[in-house]
Amino acid sequence: MSDLEALQDQIGYRFQEIGRLQEAMTHRSAGAQHNERLEFLGDSVLNFVIAYEVFRRRPRDSEGALSRLRANLVNRSSLAAIARDIGLGSHLRLGGGELKSGGHRRDSILADAMEAVFGAVYLDSGFDTAARVITGLYRPRLDSLPEEVVLKDPKTRLQEALQSTRRPLPSYQVLDVRGRAHHQQFRVECRLSDTDQATVGEAGSRRQAEQRAAAAMLVEIDAETAGGRHG
């Protein structure tokens, strides 16, 4: 087990029972007593704390806007980024296979372990302490919350843009799927039925490919709108 003193310094909390932090750092590939139960608990604590923070900081935002803010803050990439900020990966206990494949750098493993840490703090010292740790680690992100429009994904923004001019909604179709099961590449088309315009997006998941195709369509629509203004 690596020295956990530095990690506790980065978290801003000293554990009364260090075994809880050790468990939070143990991936299921490394032993029977792993961090998945703590992850479950930490996820719930994190969601509540962040929900309260965005509610408090954005008093005029709608429920939908608050939900998007929270989702943006507690998603896998945000959790993994915080885990990297505090050097969590170097303290993970991983099985041989995960160790060889670079599991200590993988977003999913880092995010899960970060949630497990929050769960461990909650068990060790209660909700108020866990909330303090979470808000401390999230402070830079909470102090620079993005505007609502930035949080909307391209598919949502495209739909709203089309609805605002009473145009039909786009259709999405998978054109191609390449690669093995765990490394697939999707090629998706976004098409507008009223003009037969089509754009294509490629990504490692169908959802992300659809978002990229929608983003490309937004660029086309924005260019048309700009051309109309200057024409």
| pLDDT tens per residue, range 60-69 | 998 988 998 9
CA distance 172 to 16: 53
Catalytic hit among 23, 39, 43, 112: 43
Whole-angstrom Cα Rg for the chain: 22
Whole-model pTM over 0.85: no
Of 115, 124, 189, 210, the active-site residue reads 115
> What domains lie within the chain, and their CATH numbers?
5-145 (1.10.1520.10), 154-230 (3.30.160.20)
43 carries an active-site annotation: yes
Task: List the end-to-end C-alpha distance of the chain, in Å, as a whole number.
Answer: 68
pLDDT at 49: 98
Mean pLDDT per 10-residue run, the chain (231 residues)? 83 96 94 93 98 96 90 93 95 88 88 97 98 97 82 84 91 93 89 94 93 93 69 50
pLDDT digits (tens, 9 = 90+) for 197-224: 999 999 989 999 999 999 999 999 888 7
- Count of CA atoms in the C-beta half-sphere (13 A) of 98: 19
Task: Give catalytic status of residue 23 as yes or no.
Answer: no
